[in-house]
Amino acid sequence: MRMLGKSGLYLITDEREVGYLTGYRSADGFVVFDEEDKLFFIDSRYYYAVKKQLGSKWDVRLGSKKEALEYIQKTGKRLFVDYRYTTLAFNENLKALGIDTEDCSKEIKSMMIIKSPAEIKKIKKACGVAERAFKNTLKVLKVGMTESQVAAYLENQFRVLGASGVSFETIVAFGSGSAVPHYQTGKRKLQPETVVLMDFGCVVDGYCSDMTRTFYFGLKPDKEFLNVYNAVLTAHLKTFEEARAGMAWADVDKIARDSLIEAGYGKFFTHSLGHGVGVNIHEAPSLSPKGQGTLENGMVHSIEPGVYLNGKFGVRIEDTDYIENGVCKSFMTFTKKLVKIKPQY
């Protein structure tokens, strides 16, 4: 395990960070470590499972918050916590015990941003499951299915294919719903000649995938939709081809944004280009106009340009990609060309 660069004791309680550091993902664990000791406090419900999996690498102790804080208090060392996941109430508990805290969120963020070969392998596996589930879902689409029914089928396929759950709440948007970037999947029914946007991802071995495809349920998309789709596809492919190690995150966003501006749709691209993907579905790097940093080998990120015409339709095309040998590579194999599906009844 890579240390975080500051001398002192670290307390990690976030489920995903616990999983990242130890290999056992738990929302009930309290991980305490420094340069010499690595302790995992866990209650009786999970103790033997954690002990079996981590016993040779971690000092697994029966207990929870009370025991973890008692241990910290006895050491007298300064304590580092990730303020992003530390509540005010918990911090008050620490102060009541005479324990002062310092933030280590930047150090954790820096540690997690470069993925190891093992992590890359897990993300690839999660992306593969997401793609296969999506392909299976396309085969069962029928007129009259609701957005929620489509989402439920997709998520069941995740489980069938080996995922432990979803990376985030699945988005299935029919028609004008696709013009809302973070649409809430609902009861709208699928009709012939309809734009469909699906944004989804699953978790495999603790790591996330993220993918969006916009397709046409019908055989006769109109010219406006085709123009928008081609503009978004061009922006996506251009960004993928030009993104390089050493490029500023903001400049990567600018490639897609300039492409859509040139096509006449710039003002309809209303969100950032992409985000990091790992144990969290949103983490560094931030590919946005305000992103501060540069791409490096081992970084994993999404590329997801979109155009949203309010009241009509939206188009977003997203892959989870990574930087290797200085260039951008994709975990996804499913086509980004427009897919048209003949309606079934």
Q: What is the per-residue pLDDT for 148? A: 98
Q: What is the per-residue pLDDT for 4? A: 63
Q: Please list the pLDDT of the chain residue by residue as tens digits (345 residues).
A: 455 667 789 999 999 999 999 999 999 999 999 988 999 999 999 999 999 999 889 999 999 999 999 999 999 888 999 999 999 899 888 999 999 899 999 999 999 999 999 999 999 999 999 999 999 999 999 999 999 999 999 999 999 999 999 999 999 999 999 999 999 999 999 999 999 999 999 999 999 999 999 999 999 999 999 999 999 999 999 999 999 999 999 999 999 999 999 999 999 999 999 999 999 999 999 999 999 999 999 999 999 999 999 999 999 999 999 999 999 999 999 999 999 999 999
Q: Which domains does the chain have, with CATH numbers?
A: 9-112 (3.40.350.10), 117-341 (3.90.230.10)
Q: What is the per-residue pLDDT for 1? A: 47
| Amino acid type, 101 | T
Of 19, 16, 20, 41, nearest to 31 by C-alpha is 41
- How far apart, in whole angstroms, are the C-alpha atoms of residue 198 and residue 185? 10
User: Residue 236: CB partners within 8 Å, gap ≥ 6?
Assistant: 256, 303, 304, 305, 317, 319, 336
Q: What is the per-residue pLDDT for 317? A: 98
Helix then strand then coil, % of the chain, to nearest 5: 35, 25, 40
Q: What is the per-residue pLDDT for 55? A: 82
- Using alpha carbons only, how large is the chain's radius of gyration in Å? 22
CA distance to 261, 268, 323, 324, per residue, from 256 (Å): 9, 12, 17, 21
Of 128, 287, 153, 279, nearest to 211 by C-alpha is 128
Q: What is the per-residue pLDDT for 7? A: 78
Q: Determine the 3-state secondary structure of 233 from DSSP.
A: helix
**How many Å separate Cα 15 from the centre of its chain?**
15
Question: Is the sign of the CA dihedral 177, 211, 153, 159 positive or negative?
Answer: negative
Q: Using an 8 Å Cβ cutoff, are 201 and 126 in contact?
A: yes
User: What's the token pair of residue 26?
Assistant: 């738990």
Q: What is the per-residue pLDDT for 164? A: 96
**How many Å separate Cα 122 from the centre of its chain?**
13
Q: Using an 8 Å Cβ cutoff, are 172 and 150 in contact?
A: yes
Q: What is the per-residue pLDDT for 5? A: 66
Beta-strand ranges (E) seen in 106-181 are 165-166, 171-174
User: What's the token pair of residue 130?
Assistant: 């997401």
Calculate helix-pair angle for 65-75, 88-96, nearest 10 degrees.
50
Identify the H or E element spanning 102: strand 101-103
What's the chain's length in residues? 345
Identify the H or E element spanning 134: helix 117-138
Of 122, 152, 125, 126, nearest to 137 by C-alpha is 152
